[in-house]
Amino acid sequence: MSDQAVFAPPPEFAASAHVGSLEAYQDLYRRAEENPEQFWSELAEKEILWYEKWSHAFEWHPPFVKWFVDGKTNASANCLDRHVEAGKGDKVALLWEGEPGDTRRITYAEMLAEVCRFANGLKQLGLQPGDRAVIYMPMVPEAVVAMLGCARIGVTHSVVFGGFSAEALKARIQDLEAQIVITADGGWRRGKEVKLKPAVDEALADCPTVRHSVVYQRTNSALPMQEGRDIWWHDFIKDQPAECPPEKLDSEHPLFVLYTSGTTGKPKGILHTTGGYLLHARLTMKWVFDLKDDDIYWCSADIGWVTGHTYIVYGPMSAGATQIMYEGAPDHPGWDRWWAIAANYKATIFYTSPTAVRAIIKQGDALPAKHDLSSLRLLGSVGEPINPAAWEWYHRVIGGGRCPIVDTWWQTETGGILIAPMPGAVPLKPGSGTLPMPGVLAEVVDFDGNPVGVDQEGFLIIKRPWPSMIRNIWGDPQRFEQQYFSRIPGIYFTGDAARRDAEGYFWILGRVDDVMNVSGHRLSTMEVESALVRHRAVAEAAVVGKPDEITGQAVCCFVTLKEGNWNHDTLGQELRQWVAHEIGSFARPAEIRFAEALPKTRSGKIMRRLLREIVTSHTVSGDVTTLEDLGVVQRLAAQHDDD
């Protein structure tokens, strides 16, 4: 992997970057490592609006940490009031486009007024700091209003992706013991209405803690409204004043809980708090995205995922960005919808997932070529490691060969980006997340916690707390400690495998359980996937280990193909030989299975755990609530039975 071509920062990019040289990055990193208390204190004072200063930067009693202890702040005020008070109220916060083509431009002053009206509505219902709200909405500006309205008065929010089932929604409401659900009649995706309120009604039949439901009208479909519980959004805010003083909240006040699937059926409520999270979100907008005042920034994620929290709401808005927000699917009405939007609004920064990039690659180069993407100056990747072939296509076709790509590694639990290049400072290697952020002491270790050698595979750990790290699993501190801090006591165990090359660059190899042991060779699923997608026929690949009596594990590959008239028998043999040639004969797949689609979460991650179940037990169990399309798994399992 480390033999890839190296792309130096373009000189004109580096000349105006927030961090413009490798030496400048190294100086930041050294200062954070040598004196973290001073480093983070100086940045917190400079970057965040505080009502009361903290007594000390952090307090670390593994596995629990507090940042900016005793400090008082407010996330909503950091995202809105500070910009309006600085005279930037007329700056556009959101350039919103609905899937049907309707558009809105919302300034920071307008957003502040809407958030205040919404927060006053919450207060009128009796909500107060420490209460919990579940937000279940489409990608409309009101979803951001709801998040910032909750944050303004200290109501902890939990955003549930708008495609989740009633059962999944119910489980999250019950675990959080929420008092209110904020939703909509529905949203638009691929030309069809995705109904939301009916799922809320079904869920709330078993959620006695919920007293109220606020419903935004997006699709105008007819809905039953339960008297005394359900309130239309427009009625909720109609007579509310446009001023609402932000609560002065403790730095460690719970800002949000975001549920993520675990290996068990019960989702985990990942708790993030206020002050440290805000600082990390704001800093990484500068360090990783090199955000400038005149940028038009676009993150294609949904707010239901942590990427949407940190890099649509709290990061960009605390940094005062103008950003694009799009409601619908990337392929409606055609696969060039994103590029039409980017060209129309003259996007300068674009942040998306490798899954999306690979899906677009499958459609060919002609569609992006129809649109003027010359405004783009930086591209980003999030969600899983981006394979070098997709990286190079993204760089060449979307970025015109001029845009650095920030390949970002982080997790729901980390709150923000931990490993990624500072694009004006760090040379890029396709497929590598490159170097850690200042203050992130990352290491690759063996089972006993000892550092492994150069280019040796091991476990990725973080040795010291950082401001945006997970504080707890909601209601389950024992699970929190066991899952993240028990493997190596007092050290955050990421659950990812990685290598580090001779220049200190990190190569993330996927989850630890995505590492196969084939005839004594430790083999990353990502390595095999990267080899497969370099083949001219392959659009996307997912690889899992299958138990084998002789080799321990055998390599089993699920592959989707580019358009073409392919003979599966011939191509299967060719791909097995291709992988053997690219990696070595020990990596030759035992099985190639062709699929129309791969099982993915709604945030775009391939669920390899389900593929492992198919090849080992021919059934699927465990938590499937995050799947975009359950039918994909059912068809793959049925295909296996037919075979």
* E strand residue ranges, 121-196: 132-136, 156-159, 180-184, 186-189, 192-195
DSSP-H helix ranges across 166-299? 166-176, 197-204, 233-237, 275-287
For residue 560, give the CATH number of its domain: 3.30.300.30
User: What's residue 2's pLDDT?
Assistant: 44
Largest CA distance in the chain: 72
User: What's residue 643's pLDDT?
Assistant: 47
What's the rounded Cα separation, in Å, for the pair 391 and 397? 10
Question: Within a domain: residue 186?
Answer: no
The structural domain count of the chain equals 1
User: What's residue 633's pLDDT?
Assistant: 67
User: What's residue 1's pLDDT?
Assistant: 46
User: What's residue 628's pLDDT?
Assistant: 56
pLDDT of 255-310, one tens digit each?
Answer: 999 998 654 456 789 999 999 999 999 999 999 999 999 999 999 999 999 999 99
Question: Within a domain: residue 116?
Answer: no
Question: Within a domain: residue 192?
Answer: no
pLDDT of 436-450, one tens digit each?
Answer: 999 999 999 998 899
**Three-class SS state of 181:** strand
Scored b (16 or more CB within 10 A) or e, 586-620 reads ebbbbebbbbebbbbbbbbbbbbbbbbbbbeeeeb
User: What's residue 3's pLDDT?
Assistant: 57
Question: Within a domain: residue 356?
Answer: no
Question: Within a domain: residue 455?
Answer: no
User: What's residue 407's pLDDT?
Assistant: 97
Q: How many CA atoms lie within 13 A of 265 on its CB side?
A: 6
Q: Determine how many CB atoms are found less than 10 A away from the CB of residue 396.
A: 12
Question: Within a domain: residue 42?
Answer: no
User: What's residue 391's pLDDT?
Assistant: 94
Residue-number span of the structural domain to which 613 is assigned: 519-642
CB 442 within 8 A of CB 33: no
Question: Within a domain: residue 441?
Answer: no
User: What's residue 264's pLDDT?
Assistant: 47
pTM for the complete prediction? 0.85
**First vs last Cα of the chain: how many Å apart?**
35
Helix, strand, coil content of the chain in percent (nearest 5): 35, 25, 40
What's the rounded Cα separation, in Å, for the pair 382 and 311? 11
Which residues of the chain fall below pLDDT 70? Answer: 1-4, 261-266, 513-514, 519-522, 549-550, 603, 619-630, 633, 639-643
User: What's residue 95's pLDDT?
Assistant: 98
Question: Within a domain: residue 636?
Answer: yes
